[in-house]
Amino acid sequence: MSVEDVTPVADQATGDADERFPAPSREPLIVLQDVQKHFGELHVLRDIDLTVHKGEVVVVLGPSGSGKSTLCRAINRLEPIDSGTILLDGEPLPLEGKPLARLRADVGMVFQSFNLFAHKTILENVTLGPIKVKRMKPAEAKELAMQLLERVGVANQAHKLPAQLSGGQQQRVAIARALAMQPKAILFDEPTSALDPEMVNEVLDVMVSLAREGMTMIVVTHEMGFARKAADRVIFMADGQIVEQAEPDAFFTNPRSDRAKDFLGKILTH
C-alpha cells in the first residue's frame, strides 16, 4: 500500500460487509514448505505447507497451544525452524545478520501485548524503524508517521508515552509502526485479545481498512466478525498441524473436521 491513498478510518468503520474487498492475486508472497519445529520434545509445527498470496487475508484459528503464534513468529524468524523452507516473495529467509534484519523490515508484526517502545513517544515509536532501518530523513519519517497516526486516529497523542494511552490506542500505534516500514505483509498475533471489549472494534476497523486496501495479512484471532468480513481464507490449526482450510463462511457454517467442529462449538457458546 502507499501512504498517499489512505482513506480516513472513520469512513470505513461504518462500511458494511457488502463493500468490495480486492480479490487476492495468484502471486505467492509467503510460502511455507514442509516446515517442522520442536520445542524440546514438543512438536509445535508439523508438516506445515502454506501459501499466502499477495493481497490475501488469512485468519488462523485453533485451540491454545496449537502453534498459531509459533507459525507467525517463524515467518519473520523470531523463532527459528528445524527444517523446511520459508520463502518471502520468492526468496528464502536469510539465516541471520543484516539480510535477516532487512527481511524482518518487509514483514510487519503486531503483537498481542502491543510492545510499543516504553521509553519513546508515540511519534518516535513510529519513526524509529524508518530512520534507523530504512535510513529515511527524520523530517520525512516524521511526516510519514504523522500521516499514519492520523489514519489510525491517534495523531493527537503523538507526543505522549505509550503508558499514557489506552490499550486500543496503543495497538493502533503498533499497527502504524508496522505500516511505517511499508512492509509487504503484516502478521497479527491475537491483536485484540489483550483489549477491553469496548476497544476491540477500533482496532479491528483499522485492520479491515488495511484488508480493503489490499495488504497481505496473516491474522491469528478468534474474532469471527473480522474473519467473516475481511478474510479470504480461514486456517484451522490443532497440535501444530493445519487441519482444515476454507473460506470463512464455509468454515464457520460447515466445518469438516471433528477438531474444528469441537473448537467452534466451544468458542460459539461463549
Partner 1 sequence: MSDFLEVLSTYDIAGAFWVNIRLAFFAGIFGLALGTVLALMRVSPVPSMRAIGSGYVTLFRNTPLTIIMVFCISVLWSVLGLRLSSDFTANFFWLAVLALTVYHAAFFCEAIRSGVNTVPVGQAEAARAIGLPFLAAARLVIFPQAFRGAIAPLGNTLIALIKNTTVAAAVSVPEVSILMKEMIENNGNYVVPIFMAIAVGFVVIVIPVGLVTTFLSQRLAVSR
The residue ranges that bind ligand ATP (CB under 6 A) are: 39, 42, 44, 62, 64-70
* Chain residues that interact with partner 1, rule: CB under 8 A: 76, 78, 96-98, 101-109, 111, 113-119, 128-129, 132-133, 161, 163-164, 174, 177-178, 181
Nearer to partner 1, 113 or 257 (CB): 113
Nearer to Mg ion, 80 or 138 (CB): 80
108 binds, among Mg ion, partner 1, ligand ATP, none (CB under 5 to 8 A by kind): partner 1
**Stretch 63-92 residues interacting with Mg ion (CB under 5 A):** 69
65 binds, among Mg ion, ligand ATP, partner 1, none (CB under 5 to 8 A by kind): ligand ATP
Nearer to ligand ATP, 44 or 103 (CB): 44
CB 109, min distance to ligand ATP, A: 14
Nearer to partner 1, 215 or 243 (CB): 215
* φ/ψ (deg, to 5) at 224: -70, -30
CB 46, min distance to ligand ATP, A: 11
